[in-house]
Structure 1
Amino acid sequence: MQRIIIVFFTALGVLLGGALIGGIGGTLTHQSPVKIMLKLTEDIKLWAVATAIGGTFSNLRILEGGFVEGKLSLVAKQLIILVAAFLGAQLGIWIINILTGGR
């Protein structure tokens, strides 16, 4: 359970931090920070999930090993972790949409 919470908040933090800091970059380059933040949320969503689960290859190996060896509990655990990362990133997108007034 601890790992799921950490993964969720890591994905949330990566997305929020990337979008907010990217918005500052948009201001410095005389672009609309709101547009930059909204674009960045979609661009870095996958990376937020990958970062939160600790990279993609190790988790893919675990999934593969779980299927091959018949360890379905291991597969289920990895899928739950993946869903937690996705939900954290999705919450980050929702928060940025609320803060910027949406699309």
Structure 2
Amino acid sequence: MQGGGTPVRDTGWWRQALAVALPPGLLALGITLGGGLLGAWGTWLAGAGLPRPGALAYRLRFWAVAAAMGGTFTAFEQIERHLASRGPRVLLRDLAVLGAAYLGARAGAWILNRLGSG
């Protein structure tokens, strides 16, 4: 128990991992979906033919991952630094964020491809 009489609960490693990885994944998903849809809308407004939001979202995936991780190269520099210092806990957290951001961006491109092919 803590000083106020409230018991301390162990939330589990998977909840902590989800709390760390979920925001970047959803951010990358939103960037990919929004960028694909707004890019297609802009293409249509410009009169450049039939827009393909899935193709635009596919090209935005890298930038969605970079934005979700907080910058293009700073996150990769942190991962390299943790590899050199052998900090496995922080390294695993950074790799989970990278993986979640990639999966979010990939899911956004997949959703727009499925919506556009029907």
Unaligned runs of 5+ in 2: 1-17
1:9 aligned partner: 26
Q: Does 1:80 align with 2:86?
A: no
The 1-side partners of 2:64 and 2:98 are apart by: 11
> Hey, what's the Cα distance between the residues in 2 that align with 1:3 and 1:32?
39
Aligned residues: 100
Give the match for residue 58 of structure 2.
Answer: 42
Aligned-partner Cα distance in 1 for 2:112–2:43: 15
Aligned CA-pair RMSD: 1.4
Between the aligned partners of 1:40 and 1:46, the Cα distance in structure 2 is: 12
Unaligned runs of 5+ in 1: none
Residue number in structure 2 paired with 1:18: 35
Offset at residue 64 of structure 1 (A)? 1.9
Report the Cα offset of residue 29 of structure 1.
Answer: 1.7
1:45 Cα offset (Å): 0.6
Which has the larger share of helix? 1
1:32 to 2:50 alignment: yes
Once residues 89 and 40 of structure 2 are traced to their aligned partners in structure 1, the CA distance between those partners, rounded to angstroms, is 41
CA contact (8 A) 2:24 2:69 kept: yes
For normalisation by structure 1, the TM-score amounts to 0.88
Which protein has the larger Cα radius of gyration, Structure 1 or Structure 2?
2
8 Å contact kept, 2:69–2:101: yes
Aligned equivalents of 2:104 and 2:69: distance in 1?
11
- If the length of structure 2 is used for normalisation, what is the TM-score? 0.78
Instruction: Determine whether 1:71 maps to 2:87.
Output: yes
Measured in 2, the distance between the counterparts of 1:40 and 1:32 equals 12
Matches of 2:107 and 2:79 in 1, distance apart?
25
| Runs of 4+ off more than 4 Å | none
How many percent of aligned residue pairs carry the same amino acid?
35
